[in-house]
Amino acid sequence: MAQDSQAQRRLEEVLGHQFRRAELLEEALTHASSAESHNERLEHLGDAVINLVAAEMLFIRHPDAREGLLTQWKSLLVARETLARVGERLELAPYLRVGGGLDGSALPRSLLGNAVESLLGAVYLDAGGGLDPNSGGLAACARLAARWLEPELAALPNRHARAHAKMLLQDWAQAERGAPPSYVVTESHEHLDTRSFHVCAEVAGRRFAGAWAPSKREAERLAAWEAVLVLRAEGEMLGEDGRQDH
Share of the chain above pLDDT 70, in %: 89
List of E strands, 120-194: 182-190
Rounded CA gap, 243 and 99, in Å?
50
| Percentages of the chain per state (helix, strand, coil), in multiples of 5 | 55, 10, 35
Same domain? For 61 and 115 the reply is yes
Return the pLDDT at 101.
62
Let me know if 117 is a catalytic residue.
yes
Return the pLDDT at 204.
94
Rounded CA gap, 12 and 17, in Å?
5
- Structural domain includes residue 245: no
Of 47, 152, 171, 220, which residue is the catalytic one?
47
Return the pLDDT at 193.
76
Q: Taking residues 228-236, report their average pLDDT.
A: 92
| Confidence tier at 3 by pLDDT (50, 70, 90) | very low
Of 27, 117, 171, 245, which residue is the catalytic one?
117
pLDDT tens track for 126-185: 988 766 666 778 889 889 998 999 888 888 888 888 888 999 999 999 999 999 999 999
Domain with residue 58: its CATH number is: 1.10.1520.10
Q: Between residues 129 and 230, which one has the greater pLDDT?
A: 230
Q: Which of 131, 153, 175 is a domain's end point?
A: 153
Q: What is the pTM of this model?
A: 0.73
β-pair type (195-203, 211-213): antiparallel
Return the pLDDT at 32.
80
Closest CA to 144 of 13, 9, 17: 17
Same domain? For 204 and 132 the reply is no
Q: Tell me which residue range forms the domain holding 95.
A: 5-153
Let me know if 56 is a catalytic residue.
no
Is there a contact between 126 and 26 (Cβ–Cβ < 8 Å)?
no
Q: Taking residues 226-231, report their average pLDDT.
A: 93
Domain with residue 175: its CATH number is: 3.30.160.20
